[in-house]
A and B are shown apart, each in its own frame.
Chain A
């Protein structure tokens, strides 16, 4: 199959066509040198960038030295506070609710308190009080 306009064959799908562009040989003669120049330029850029990185890091480190120390202190304070809060919270959380045995203990404790109170009261009794109690007994009889 050959496509054609009025006068010229323009397209033979089987191939063998001529690519209708041209470039002077001078272009290719200089091409390698130009490309290698660009590559040298790229190579020079890379070490410069590599040197910049540690310099910048050092500068940043110097500028923020005090700020870093403050940050470290703040962090340590917060951490210590958190540890304290967690320890106290855990103590409360781990404390079980009162059991019957403990309730019994509480009652005993209460009874013991009453006895002590009475003992205190009796210890404060003086002779007048003793006389009063005894005479009261006489009256009741």
Chain B
């Protein structure tokens, strides 16, 4: 993901109070939700991609995320920011997807070992060294992968990540540090 994508979507801010009012009105609910989808789908896409690391799977999870959000829209009272709410649905959907994928793999082949093959991915836009880095990232647990990607690729502040994932800044720093160590060891082992 280029930072251009991320920044462009973050610039498209919406008036959350206005959206909240409109989603409570059955007449304007659909239109308001359409606006939410339009503004946040790009950001959510990449957050999901960090976890599932594949375009088609990301697309499925993203659609499921918005369908879940629509179904739960009446229960959303604005206790958190709309994007935080969407992000948490997306993250849970991503984890559910990974679990299903793991189960399918274990049914098909007991000796299955997850090995990311990014070169074959038409959406991969990097060289061999970047592929090695992404292979290292793919060995991280889902949450650590999220934290690492948001910090490393988006250069987000720990405070921002903390608001989003609901984990303390200290725990996030530790998580990032462990992720860096694992990646370093992985790359060293491949050299």
- A interface residues with partner B (beta carbon < 8 Å): 1, 3, 5, 8-11, 13, 15-23, 27-28, 31-32, 34-36, 38-39, 42
Contacts and interface: CB of A to CB of B under 8 A. Distances in A.
B65 to A, nearest CB: 9
Interface string B29-46: 010011001100110011
Interface of B: 1-3, 30, 33-34, 37-38, 41-42, 45-46, 49, 55, 59, 62-63, 66-67, 70-71, 118, 121, 123-134, 136, 149, 151-153, 155, 180, 183-184, 187-188, 191
A15 B151 contact: yes
Contact of A38 (B2, B63, B123): B63
A129 B130 CA distance: 139
Contact of A21 (B125, B151, B188): B125
Contact of A19 (B70, B128, B131, B149): B149
Contacts, number: 104
B94 to A, nearest CB: 15
A107 to B, nearest CB: 84
A62 B106 CA distance: 48
Given A1-B184, A21-B123, 9 more contacts: A8-B127, A10-B129, A13-B184, A16-B152, A21-B124, A22-B123, A28-B41, A28-B42, A38-B66
Contacts of B127: 8, 20
Contact of B187 (A3, A18, A32, A38): A3
Nearest to A1: B184
A20 B46 CA distance: 11
A21 B56 CA distance: 13
A38 B1 contact: no
Contacts of B130: 10, 18, 20
B153 A35 contact: no
Chain B binding surface SS class: helix
Contacts of A20: 118, 124-127, 130-131, 133-134
A24 to B, nearest CB: 9
Nearest to A16: B155
Contacts of B124: 20-21
B41 A31 contact: yes
Contacts of B129: 5, 8-10
A101 to B, nearest CB: 76
A39 B184 contact: no
B2 A18 contact: yes
Contacts of A10: 129-130, 132-133, 187
B46 A35 contact: no
Contacts of B126: 18, 20-21
Contacts of A16: 152, 155
B63 A32 contact: no
- For the complex of A and B, 10 pairs with smallest distance between CB atoms: A20-B126, A10-B129, A19-B1, A19-B153, A22-B125, A20-B130, A8-B129, A13-B180, A32-B38, A15-B152
A35 B70 CA distance: 10
Contacts of B41: 28, 31-32, 35
A39 B123 contact: no
A15 B125 contact: no
